[in-house]
Amino acid sequence: MPGETDSWDFGVGAGFYVNATTPQWKKNYNMYDYIVKELPALLAKEFPKQLDLSKKSIMGHSMGGHGALIAALKNPGMYAACSAFSPICNPVNCPWGQKAFTGYLGDDKQKWSEWDASHLCKQYKGSALAMLVDQGTEDDFLGKKQLLPDALVEAVKSSPNLSLHLRMQNGYDHSYYFISTFAKDHIDFHADYLLGRRGAL
């Protein structure tokens, strides 16, 4: 599609886990539906005996962390738990999100809030959801006001059924080394909730 490879933070490199509504993008840019609906259906078809899709949780990094958060918040009860590394927590108020949402959703900022984890927390009425977020203190994107974890911390206070454990990891950046260092914690966190043990993190 014209323009989809022009920049690294929009188009093929950054679908932003929304269902696009603008004319140019709405046909092919529906990553939210892909992750929440199409992928589980495909897995159920391919592995009908090996997988119990009634038990699932979700995790992501950066833009994918944003995707994990909104998928869990928009679908109460679908995921046992949610975790993220360096997620974009409040995209309506950061340059990345404003660029992506304008392109994919148009200029109506009310529609943007439907895809923003911090806004979704304030409206959350669903069942209990535990979230674990790891954020590196030396993350360049944190300093550039792209990630905004404080907005998520404040928003979670709006719902008694949401819990957030934010861990600021001293000295870590936005890299996959950061993820690999703490990945086991996240796997253990999800395993506890999937097995009904209710993680202790």
Enzyme catalytic residues: 62, 139, 174
* Inter-residue contact 79 to 69 (CB < 8 Å): no
Selection from 108, 137, 23, 117 nearest residue 75 by Cα: 117
Burial of 88 (0-12, 13-18, 19+ CB in 10 A): buried
- Are residues 62 and 88 in contact, defined by beta-carbon separation less than 8 angstroms? yes
DSSP category for residue 9:
T
The encoded tokens of residue 49 equal 């005996």
